[in-house]
Amino acid sequence: MTSRAPWAAHFGLARTPFGKAIAAKDLFARQAHAQATARISFCITDIGNQRYQNLLNVRRDTWAA
């Protein structure tokens, strides 16, 4: 037997109306979240590009020596 939440019993609910059936991708479907995701992706890509550029510079400097 499962115990109901006290507030659900107070309102006469047979089950709680809030489940975990919502897909994770739908939980934060807001403009601010989309912008934050885009900024983080840009930073990750930019760091990768900087590391690649540094690698090319090291190789260029090594070949020039």
- Residue ranges covered by each domain of the chain: 24-65
- HSE (side-chain half, CA atoms, 13 Å) at 6: 0
Sequential pLDDT tens for the chain (65 residues): 456 678 878 888 887 777 777 777 777 668 888 898 899 999 888 888 888 888 788 777 776 65
Q: What is the pLDDT of residue 39?
A: 93
Q: What is the pLDDT of residue 64?
A: 64
What is the Cα–Cα distance from 13 to 45, expressed in whole angstroms? Answer: 49
Rounded to whole angstroms, what are the CA distances from 43 to 11, 48, 52, 54, 56? 48, 9, 14, 16, 20
Cβ atoms of 6 and 13 closer than 8 Å: no
